[in-house]
């Protein structure tokens, strides 16, 4: 039974990380593209269980000087 749990956890981790961009890459790409605003959306769950994405915004802003917004459900842009 434990091997099934391990396989399930590995599958969840793989799904959560593949196809998602790393925050520093988002910041660097936004700077190269010369955009004014980055909107972080389709966010994964935080490890600490909170919905405070301020540290994620700070990580993007290390590489990007424009506006960084965190999308919430039903926001329009």
Q: Quick count: other Cβ atoms within 10 Å of Cβ 16?
A: 11
Find tokens 């960084």 and name the residue.
Answer: 68
Q: Quick count: other Cβ atoms within 10 Å of Cβ 35?
A: 12
The residues, any chain, with a CB within 8 Å of residue 59's CB and separated by 6 or more, are: 23, 24, 27
Instruction: Indicate the average pLDDT of the chain.
Output: 85
Please tell me the number of Cα atoms within 13 Å of 67 on its side-chain side.
6
**Looking at per-residue confidence, does 59 or 4 come out higher?**
59
pLDDT in tens, 36-67: 999 999 887 777 888 889 999 999 999 999 99
What pLDDT is stored for residue 27 in this prediction? 96
Domains detected in the chain: 22-77 (3.50.80.10)
Question: What pTM, to 2 d.p., does this model score?
Answer: 0.71
């Amino acid at each position: 039974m434990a091997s099934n749990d391990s396989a399930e956890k590995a599958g969840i981790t793989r799904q959560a990380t593949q196809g998602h961009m790393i925050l520093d890459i988002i910041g660097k790409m936004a700077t190269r593209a010369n955009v004014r605003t980055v909107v972080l959306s389709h966010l994964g769950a935080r490890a600490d269980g909170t919905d405070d994405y301020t540290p994620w915004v700070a990580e993007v802003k290390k590489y990007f000087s424009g506006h960084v917004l965190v999308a919430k459900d039903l926001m329009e842009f």
